[in-house]
Structure 1
Amino acid sequence: MSTGHSAFVYVTYIRTTPEKLWEALTKPEFTKQYWFGVSVVSEWKTGADWRIQFDDGRIADTGSILEIDPPRRLVIKWRNEFMPELKAEGYSRCTMELEPIGGAVKLTIRHEIDIADAKVINAVSGGWPSILSNLKSLLETGAVAYTPPPKP
């Protein structure tokens, strides 16, 4: 019996190529620039482990690669590791689709889980917009749009 479904979808258009956007999504040296200092680490093949890691070694999120079709589609099994109430919900699924349109790439992020009113979806709905705004700005201008204030 299903307990419901929650999803967050974000679409943006970035003036770049699918190859450059793919590199920005999958290379740790790129993710650190727009994803608030974290590295996204994986071997980037189906079944490979995947994680988001801070410079000090702490792990933010983990999972595995469910589907990969560079530079068009990436599907990740995803679990938050540092907030107990989010980790308790288990694995969510994040699908990233890249579609060239003219001189831009349409990037669609769909983050979902089979739980009604999921806390993890509420959390990512606050995180994805700032991360993807930074990604867009970095690729188009060479600088990120937003740096969060330091925590006291």
Structure 2
Amino acid sequence: MDHVARAELVVNAPPERVWDVLTSPEPRPEIMFGARTVTDWQPGHPISWRGEWDGQAFEDKGEVVHVEAPRRLVVTHFSPMSGQPDVPESFHRLEYVLEPVDGGTKVVLEQDNNPTSESAERNVESWRTMLDGLKKVAEASST
């Protein structure tokens, strides 16, 4: 279970703008599959993502682990749609790192607790899609 999914990209917007989009409660189809993020962003407090995917309501859940605006965000994540049991061993740790680069922000997202390298690579594709949406929204709103 030590396979890590890692996705990264550069967003042409400052870290503060990327952070605002990443932590916004507003549902956006481009980010987290259109889910609404519900949390107070306090470490140790719950976080959930509520939305609809392929016509079916879902609610993923986790806990806020670390918040260092606008640089680093760590949360745990569990999706009932994974088919895994709702036990601590089924949760992933998601770490977002935002680093200022010339003209924008490099965003790195890592997800641990993947059982195989193949499952990690499948998750990389999903996270790339989410990061592409983050980029789209952050760049459109910073112009």
Give the AA of the match of 1:82: M
Which structure is larger by alpha-carbon Rg, 1 or 2?
A: 1
1:12 aligned partner: 9
- Which structure would you say has the larger RCO, counting Cα contacts within 8 Å and 6 or more residues apart? 2
Count of aligned pairs between the two proteins: 137
Task: Calculate the TM-score normalised by the size of structure 2.
Answer: 0.81
Look up the match of 2:116.
Answer: 117
What SS does structure 1 have at the residue aligned with 2:34? coil
Q: Could you tell me how far apart the structure 1 residues matched to 2:50 and 2:91 are?
A: 17
Deviation at 1:123, TM superposition (A): 4.6
Match of 1:145 in 2: none
Change (3 A) 1:128 1:68: same
2:125 aligned residue: 126
Q: State how far apart, in whole Å, the 1-side matches of 2:63 and 2:119 are.
A: 17
1:37 maps onto 2:16 in alignment: no
C-alpha deviations, 1:19-46, integer Å up to 9, x for none? Answer: 11111111122x4242232112210111
CA distance in 1, matches of 2:85, 2:13: 34
Match of 1:70 in 2: 69
SS in 2 for 1:85: coil
C-alpha spacing 1:83/1:116, structure 2 compared with 1 (3 Å): closer
Q: Which amino acid aligns with 1:126?
A: E
Name which of 25, 28, 53 aligns with 1:28: 25
Offset from partner CA, 1:96-146 (integer Å, 9 cap, x none): 001111220010101111x5417863552231111111221222245xxxx
Q: TM-score, normalised by structure 1?
A: 0.77
Distance 2:23 2:51 in 1: 15
Aligned position for 1:60: 59
- Report what 2:95 is aligned to: 95
Which one has the bigger strand percentage? 2
CA contact (8 A) 2:8 2:131 kept: no
Map Cα deviations across residues 74-116 of structure 1 (whole Å, 9 max, x no partner): 0111111223137575111010001111220010101111x54
Once residues 46 and 118 of structure 2 are traced to their aligned partners in structure 1, the CA distance between those partners, rounded to angstroms, is 23
Structure 1 residues 11, 42: CA separation in 2 closer, same or farther (over 3 Å shift)? same
